[in-house]
Amino acid sequence: MAPKRAREEGAKGGKPHKHKEEVAHPRKRFYRARAHSNPLNDASFDVPTRPEDFDWDEHFPEFLQEWRERQQKQQQDAGDAAGPSSSASDTPVVRFVDIGCGFGGLLVKLSTIYPDTLMLGMEIRDKVSAYVRERIAALRREQPGSYRNASVLRTNAMKYLPNYFKKGQLTKMFFLFPDPHFKTANHRRRIINSHLLTEYAHLLAPGGWLYTISDVPELGDWMKAKLDAHPLFERVSEEELEADPAAGLLALSSEEGQKVARNGGATFRNVYRRLEAPRPMAEAAPS
């Protein structure tokens, strides 16, 4: 005798329903790590000598393969099938980077809002970066064709950003709830400081945005002061932020932001634009 469910569906004249195979997602409890780390400690990372030496196909295989196929088809349609299908300068590159991406909340949300933009989360903690890697892999299996533009890399962003990105390559950089490093002696570990802002300005394209948010008032003031004082950045107006999808994700997309919201805490958002040319020093606020 057929199973009851099959009999009922047969009586209705329909076919047995095929269940979509469930995709197992990683569980955070197996990937927990210390909330804070010392980015100035030496660690073993496999770092490319220069951006051109890094193979991004490992991170975005479907996205880049599809792009190459489109390029080849366009050239064939143009009657130039014998020529090269693409050049290194034309190949899509990472445009968004989330520094200290945590468990990847912002990254996966941005991926669906900007599906044609390659984006990378950078995380120094090995277990946390492993979780994000598994999370993205699960989402790709669950929703074929989506999340192909997002990936994660375990590295030390304070030391190695120029090894991965060229001058003017990035259009958005995110710093969500960075470690406060409260002690004065540890302020040099803060991810936003005058020296590193010059490096970020080098990697950001003119007009690119740098996003920061913190639930620590003193750190929020610190980041604002450093950015106000830097001649290559200007503050983005609240009107512009209201129209920007990424700015609306800063407070609640990450696990840390959600924790702050649950506890009724305040957040301090500061977003700045990379200028085409330095402002006169007289216009910069004191640091």
Query: Residue 5 has what pLDDT?
Result: 46
Q: At residue 221, does pLDDT exceed 80?
A: yes
Q: Is 213 annotated as a binding residue?
A: no
Q: At residue 2, does pLDDT exceed 50?
A: no
What are the tokens at 175? 């710093």
Do 109 and 98 contact (CB within 8 A), yes or no?
no
Residue 121 is inside which H or E element, if any?
Answer: strand 118-123
What pLDDT band is residue 86 in, cutting at 50, 70 and 90?
Answer: low
Task: Give the count of domains, the chain.
Answer: 1
Concatenated DSSP letters for 235-285? Answer: EPPHHHHHT-TTGGGTTTSSHHHHHHHHTT---EEEEEEE-SSPPPGGGSP
122: in domain: yes
Q: Is 157 annotated as a binding residue?
A: yes
Q: Is 41 annotated as a binding residue?
A: no
Q: Quick one: average pLDDT of 173-194?
A: 95
Q: Quick one: average pLDDT of 20-26?
A: 72
287: in domain: no
Q: Is 21 annotated as a binding residue?
A: no
What pLDDT band is residue 25 in, cutting at 50, 70 and 90?
Answer: confident
CATH code, 200: 3.40.50.150
User: Out of 55, 77, 126, 179, which one is annotated catalytic?
Assistant: 179
Query: pTM for this one?
Result: 0.84
Q: Is 38 annotated as a binding residue?
A: no
Q: At residue 181, does pLDDT exceed 60?
A: yes
For 112-144, what is each residue's pLDDT tens digit? 999 999 999 999 999 999 999 999 999 999 999
155: in domain: yes
**Domain containing residue 119:** 92-274
13: in domain: no
Question: Does the active-site annotation cover 179?
Answer: yes
CA geometry: angle 136, 33, 257, nearest 5 deg: 65
210: in domain: yes
The mean pLDDT value of the chain amounts to 88
For 238-285, what is each residue's pLDDT tens digit? 999 999 999 999 999 999 999 999 999 999 999 999 999 998 865 655
283: in domain: no
Which backbone phi and psi does 48 adopt, to 5 degrees? -70, 150
- pLDDT higher for 68 or 80? 68
